[in-house]
């Protein structure tokens, strides 16, 4: 995320969000817009959801960052906050499907519809086809949103489109939009609201484990609301109930606003996916910890894994440092570490320089590399529409450079955990194999054995065909976690 994006998201979504560029048919309109008439009332939860959708569309905001602030600013009740969350995330997850329905009902491409109107239509279609919200409420309030933000002419268009959509069932609309699909993958993309390129990448990743038949289960899991998981920093807090099955530090939120629990704990308990906990725990468990070790979290923002590693390191006489290239995210790391006693130096710099500036300096390094984020589509639903296959080609060289830099910064016998929140083969095993081909000083450890050994209960980790070494790929549909990838790489020890 760029610094500009960070600043925009810290400001939060702007209410209304006029586009100032098109009328409902896509023609240029004057900046003053059409006559608006009296301000119409809109239920607060819908208003918040709409404002966040506009922020996602207009300034590339991340819903998981923008929504909590918008809910707090609006002073929503717990019930309204839950509704705003469902409306926001549900609309974002199924945007591709809803756009196809809107295009069919409007008899025009969605690119020709004013962006403000389009977001209001998406929000309404989600309510009409995927929730128990009354049809008249979904239509009327979305029309009011359009009337307030754009004008009466646009609201008449929105009203006509939504009433057309409300006349048919979700199944009828699904059948209608799939009729024009040019392939089975396009048909699956429309039904499951995933871009075709993502479907194909996920299928290849599952097929590499011999489990291509699990694709639709994975796509369904991406579209389900994830359970909120908390981490209890070891030595500083005790996990609550119910416990999660794998990480000893993980437990499920008992309900309500989890941030209340976080605040009450002083940050010693925080929200963190169990998969993220497992990969950090695996780095610490990959070999016995010796007093005096030096650890580094190389791509640390926003700091959740850093805090977990710091809590593990604290009683073991281990020095830990962190690095983050973006200033705002480096600040988030420092904030995440406040709950952990002791000093953790947080550097701001390019992780690709570490191997040159600090050669052979660290015993364990976590490289949670920038990636497409395809493993967290449950939590960051806008990523599926924001990323493209071209992003993979741009990210892989960066991932290779970061991993090589970390390996150069390893002391003899040291271990790197290479982690991505993506199952895309180019970002995972592809990067690892590319790096290993160019180095004779690095051995891959059996990450499957490490994770199985630390797991609280049996964990189903697929064999990728190698017998003595192997990476770990977690899955939402199989493990209930984000699709985290982990490889453990060890630098050769000094010759005696």
Binding residue ranges for S-adenosyl-L-methionine: 299-305, 324, 350, 368
Q: Which of 211, 206, 189 is nearest to 198 (CA)?
A: 189
In terms of Cβ atoms closer than 10 Å to its own Cβ (0-12, 13-18, 19+), residue 382 is buried
Q: How many CB atoms lie within 10 A of CB 431?
A: 28
371 catalytic? Reply is: no
Omega of the bond leading into 242 within 30 degrees of 0 (cis): yes
Structure tokens at 428: 């995972």
Strand ranges for 267-318 from DSSP E: 269-271, 294-297
Phi, psi of 187 (to 5 degrees): -65, -45
Angle made by CA atoms 164, 165, 166, in degrees to the nearest 5: 95
What distance in Å separates the CA atoms of residue 181 and residue 202, rounded to the nearest whole number? 20
Give CA–CA dist 151/146, Å, rounded. 7
Catalytically annotated residue among 421, 447, 461, 486: 421
Closest C-alpha to 320, from 292, 279, 349, 282: 292
Edge-first strand listing for the sheet containing 269-271: 250-252, 229-232, 269-271
- What is the rounded CA–CA span in Å between residue 210 and residue 73? 48
Pairing of strands 362-368, 410-420: parallel
Contact 358, 409 (CB under 8 A): yes
Q: Would you say the C-alpha torsion 169, 172, 177, 178 has a positive or negative sign?
A: positive
Pull the structure tokens for residue 127. 């309510």
d(CA 407, CA 399): 12
- The enclosing H or E element of 444 equals strand 442-444
Catalytic machinery residues: 421
């Amino acid at each position: 995320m760029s610094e500009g994006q960070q600043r925009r998201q810290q400001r939060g979504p702007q209410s209304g969000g006029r586009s100032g560029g098109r009328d409902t048919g896509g023609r240029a309109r004057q900046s003053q817009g059409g006559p608006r008439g009296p301000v119409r009332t809109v239920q607060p939860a819908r208003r918040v959801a709409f404002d966040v959708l506009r922020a996602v569309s207009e300034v590339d905001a991340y819903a998981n960052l923008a929504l909590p602030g918008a809910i707090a600013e609006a002073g929503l009740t717990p019930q309204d906050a839950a509704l705003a969350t469902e409306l926001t995330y549900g609309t974002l997850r199924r945007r591709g499907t809803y756009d196809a329905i809107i295009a069919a009902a409007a008899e025009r491409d969605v690119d020709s519809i004013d962006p403000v109107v389009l977001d209001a239509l998406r929000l309404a279609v989600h309510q009409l086809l995927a929730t128990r919200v009354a049809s008249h409420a979904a239509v009327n309030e979305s029309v009011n949103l359009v009337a307030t933000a754009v004008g009466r002419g646009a609201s008449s268009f929105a009203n006509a489109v939504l009433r057309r959509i409300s006349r048919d069932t979700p199944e009828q609309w699904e059948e209608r939009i799939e009729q024009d699909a040019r392939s089975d993958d396009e048909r699956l993309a429309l039904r499951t609201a995933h871009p075709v390129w993502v479907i194909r990448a996920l299928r290849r990743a599952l097929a590499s484990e011999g489990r291509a038949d699990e694709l639709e289960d994975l796509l369904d899991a991406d579209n389900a609301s994830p359970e909120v998981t908390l981490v209890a920093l070891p030595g500083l807090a005790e996990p609550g109930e119910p416990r999660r099955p794998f990480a000893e530090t993980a437990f499920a939120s008992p309900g309500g606003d989890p941030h209340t629990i976080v605040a009450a704990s002083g940050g010693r308990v925080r929200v963190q996916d169990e998969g993220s906990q497992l990969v950090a725990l695996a780095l610490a468990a990959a070999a016995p910890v010796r007093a005096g070790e030096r650890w580094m979290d190389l791509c640390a923002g926003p700091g959740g894994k850093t805090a977990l590693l710091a809590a593990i390191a604290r009683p073991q006489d281990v020095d830990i440092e962190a690095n983050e290239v973006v200033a705002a995210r480096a600040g988030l790391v420092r904030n995440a570490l406040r709950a952990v006693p002791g000093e953790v130096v947080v550097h701001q710099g390019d992780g690709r320089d570490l191997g040159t500036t600090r050669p052979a300096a660290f015993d364990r390094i976590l490289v949670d590399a920038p990636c497409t984020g395809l493993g967290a589509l449950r939590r960051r639903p806008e990523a599926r529409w924001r990323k493209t296959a071209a992003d993979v080609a741009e990210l892989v060289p960066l991932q290779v450079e970061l991993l090589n830099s970390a390996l150069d910064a390893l002391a003899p016998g040291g271990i790197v955990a290479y982690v991505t929140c993506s199952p895309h083969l180019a970002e995972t095993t592809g990067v690892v194999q590319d790096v290993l081909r160019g180095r004779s000083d690095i051995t891959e450890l059996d990450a499957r054995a490490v994770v199985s050994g630390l797991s609280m209960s049996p964990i189903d980790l697929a064999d990728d065909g190698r017998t003595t070494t192997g990476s770990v790929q977690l899955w939402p549909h199989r493990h209930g976690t984000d699709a985290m990838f982990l490889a453990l790489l060890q630098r050769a020890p000094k010759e005696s």
